[in-house]
Amino acid sequence: MLTAAWLVDVAASAVTGDAVTVKITHWHGLEAAALWMSLAAIGGGLMALGAYPRLRALWDATPRPEAKAIFDGIIEPLAAACRRLTDGVHNASFSRAVTVAVLAIAGAGVWAFSGGTHLAGDRALLPVTPTVLALWAVMVIAALALPFYHRDRVVALVLTGVVGLLIAPLFALFSAPDLALTQISVEVVTILLMLLALNFLPKATPVESAPGRRFGDVAVAGIAGAGIGWLAYAMMTRQPAFDPISHFHLAQSKPGAGGTNAVNTIIVDFRGYDTFGEIIVLGIAALVIFALSETLLRSPTVTRRLGAIAPVREDGDRHPMMLVVATRFLLPMAMMVGVYIYLRGHNLPGGGFVAGLVFAIAYLMQYMASGYVWSHARQRYDHHALIGWGVLVSVLAGVGAWAFGLPFLTSGFEYVNLWPLEEFELATAAIFDLGVFLCVLGAVLLALASLSRLGLRTGEDVNTRAFDINPDAAQAEEVR
Amino acid sequence: MEALVASAIGLLTAVGIYMMLRLRTFPVILGLTFLSYGVNLFLFTSGRLTVNAAPIIGRTEPYADPLPQALVLTAIVISFGMTAVLMIMAIGGHLEAGHDKVNMSDTDDDTPEVQS
């Protein structure tokens, strides 16, 4: 009989490597069980076919679980429960969300601190010095005054500035000169920004919350403050549970990164990737501010409301000549200080962040003294471009390492002897820090310029001269 | 000294939270600023307090822990960025809606209130 046995032989032999012979038979005789099983199956099938209409009717009549009904039955109550929960929780009340979050975090903190084990608080404490005591006292007075006097928003801003500026000497006293420099320059920029923003917001906060509610808020704030203060005290009075990893950074700062300022080498060398991401975030924040201000300026409602803001003239001189002249003289000096802070950053307190902020403050003084339009007309570099160049320069500093077969942002340095100068160091970290500098400068200026652009739509007229009084005209008047 | 710094952190946080619970945008942003003062100081103290120990290699040992300082330095700058974004949002909200309230009442669904 013709079978496919030959094909199976060839295939099986090829796979196993040995000669295989198979025998395929189609008729196994009447005794084979398979024959009777097949016949029984065919017979059974024919019988079932004959009984189909009756079986079908029986099946249709039998009650059975309906998947869609089960699904709907489960999902609908769940969806309704979720809707009730969302409606109950999300009542568009920011205050309630903050209250719940603060209490939940405080509760989790208490639970973690009481449940876990911790070292004994036996770390030697520092003696109180009169300087720190005085700083602390002024800070406490200013901070406590804020809740009582915050309704006058300018006063609130002054109190915020007092506290923020006092933190800088605290950083300096507790061995963090870099932080002191950063805090003091950021504080100046922040207060300027808020002062500018107050032009477009009400100058006073109305009394709205009932005394009972305020009492509740004091309780929530008190719990949060006591919790974090207690945690800070517990942390400061204990030795670290693990050996700090910064031994490595201190040991490698000079030999590994080529700089003696361990804080700066962490920022630009050891953890350069963090900083790289951070300047991008800062740049994006500034671009968001610009984009939002652009959108606002396109809205007819906003421009109408801006136009309705009446200029507040508390004195006659909007751009005092003394201030204009003084800031004009200060500009090159402030820039020189910025360059100095940038250059020393790798070895002494300073660096790109602080330098960028110092430059930004120098320019902001021009904006304050002579107005946005006058200063902007004399500005040669676009703020957006500064941010872009900042990111690009730091990317170049990072990609440059690839040329030496090293990972992204690996820093390198070389000591150079150039007669008649003393031996000095050239580090790629300085290029990266330049990127940080440009990005910070661009971001701060773009943020404040975006706010100033809103100011142009208010009812106030725009000055084209550096200061309001014209000394030339006054002189001509005198001569005549 | 530790108790002074810890109480200052606690007070700054408490004032920050209290101001964040006010009903207008400007005090809320001031509250966030206070909260970031407190948090930055708190993160800084995780390196423990030291005097005359700036982490400048070659000065007198021992050195203060440079790592919290580096992290707080970037945190200070980012706080500024965050405050600035919130400020423009607050201004935008005030100019678009005609009021600077933080909470929306249950009755108005996004419909701006008419400025009084």
ipTM of the complex: 0.90
Structure tokens at A271: 């953890």
Q: CA Rg, chain B, in Å?
A: 20
Least Cα distance to A163 among A147, A178, A146 occurs for A146
pLDDT value of residue A330: 93
Give the integer Cα–Cα distance in Å for B10 and A235.
13
CA atoms of B30 and B20, how far apart (whole Å): 8
Q: What is the C-alpha separation between A456 and A453, in angstroms, rounded?
A: 5
Largest Cα–Cα separation, chain B: 66
How far apart CA A239 and CA A121 sit, in angstroms, is: 8
**For B57, which residue in chain A has the nearest alpha carbon?**
A260
Q: Which of A147, A171, A142 is nearest to A158 (CA)?
A: A142
Q: What is the 3-state secondary structure (H, E, C) of A325-371?
A: HHHHHHHHHHHHHHHHHHHHCCCCCCCHHHHHHHHHHHHHHHHHHHC
pLDDT value at position B115?
44
Beta-carbon neighbour count of residue A379 at 10 Å?
13
Please tell me the predicted confidence (pLDDT) of residue A471: 66
Q: Would you state the structure tokens that stand for residue A69, as one six-digit string?
A: 């009904």
- Does B28 contact A at CB distance below 8 Å? yes
The C-alpha atoms of residue A400 and residue A395 are separated, in whole angstroms, by: 8
- Residues 43 to 102 of B: which have CB under 8 A from any A CB? 44-58, 63-67, 69-70, 72-74, 76-85, 87-92, 94-96, 98, 100, 102
CB atoms A136 and B48 under 8 Å: no
Q: CA of A375: how far to CAs of A283, A308, A370, A378, A440, in Å?
A: 22, 25, 7, 5, 19
Question: Under an 8 A CB cutoff, do B14 and A127 touch?
Answer: no
DSSP state, B56? B
Report, as an integer, the average pLDDT of B63-86: 94
Distances (CA, A) of A202 to A154, A298, B30, B90, B100: 10, 22, 14, 11, 8
Question: Do A236 and A404 form a contact (C-beta atoms < 8 A)?
Answer: no
Residue A235 touches partner B, C-beta closer than 8 Å: yes
DSSP alpha helix (H) spans, A237-312: 246-252, 262-265, 272-298, 300-308
Q: Which of B13, B63, B103 sits opposite A225 (nearest CB)?
A: B13
pLDDT for position A457: 80
A23: which residues sit within 8 A by CB, 6+ positions away?
A5
- Report the residue of chain B nearest A101, measured CA to CA: B17
Mean pLDDT, contiguous 10-residue spans, chain A (480 residues):
75 84 76 85 92 89 87 94 86 86 93 82 88 95 94 94 96 94 95 90 87 92 94 90 88 89 93 93 96 91 83 70 90 95 92 95 89 85 93 92 87 83 84 95 93 81 71 64
Which among A197, A232, A357 is the nearest to B6, CB-wise?
A: A232
Cβ contact A41:A33 at 8 Å: no
Query: Tokens in use for A272?
Result: 């350069």
The pLDDT value recorded for residue A23 is: 76
Q: Return d(Cα B26, Cα A407) in angstroms, integer.
A: 45
Greatest C-alpha distance within chain A: 141
Collapse the DSSP code of A410 into the 3-class scheme (helix H, G, I; strand E, B; otherwise coil) and give the result.
coil
Closest CA to B30 of B22, B45, B19, B44: B19
| Residue B106 pLDDT > 60 | no
Helix axis angle, B25-45 to B66-97, nearest 10°: 170
Q: At residue B53, does pLDDT exceed 50?
A: yes
Which residues of chain A lie closer than 8 angstroms to B40, CB-CB? Answer: 167, 183
Interface of A with B in 418-477 (CB under 8 A): 440, 443-444, 447, 450-451, 454
> Rounded distance, CA A380 to CA A388, Å?
15
What's the gap in Å between the CA of B60 and the closest CA on chain A? 12
User: Could you give the CA distance from residue A88 to residue A23 in angstroms, rounded to a whole number?
Assistant: 77
Q: Which residue has the higher pLDDT, B38 or A207?
A: B38
| pLDDT confidence of residue A396 | 92
pLDDT band for position B113 (50/70/90)? very low
Q: From B87, which residue of chain A is nearest by alpha-carbon distance?
A: A197
pLDDT of residue A281: 95
Type of residue numbered B40: N
Return the closest-CA partner of residue B1 out of A140, A170, A181: A170
Question: What is the C-alpha separation between A383 and A374, in angstroms, rounded?
Answer: 16
Could you tell me if A182 lies within 8 Å of chain B, comparing CB atoms? Answer: yes
| Interchain pair B21, A99: CB under 8 A | yes
CA torsion through residues A161, A164, A166, A168, sign: negative
Cβ pair A174:B29 closer than 8 A? no
| CB contacts, 8 Å: A133 with chain B | 4
DSSP A30: T
Question: Which is nearest to A270 in space by CA: B5, B71, B89?
Answer: B71
CA distance A452 to chain B (A): 11
Q: Which of A190, A236, A232 is nearest to B38 (CA)?
A: A232
Judging contacts by C-beta atoms under 8 Å, the chain A residues touching residue B70 are 263-264, 266-267, 271
In chain A, which among 87-146 make CB contacts under 8 A with chain B? 91-96, 98-99, 102, 123, 125-129, 132-133, 136, 139-140, 143-144, 146
Identify the CA nearest to A346 among candidates A418, A440, A413, A396.
A413
- How much is the mean pLDDT over chain B? 88
Q: Which two tokens stand for residue A245?
A: 């990893």
- Distance from the Cα of A426 to chain B's closest Cα (Å) equals 18
* Preferred mutation among A90, A201, A297 to probe B, highest tally of B CBs within 10 A: A201
Element (H, E) at A467: none
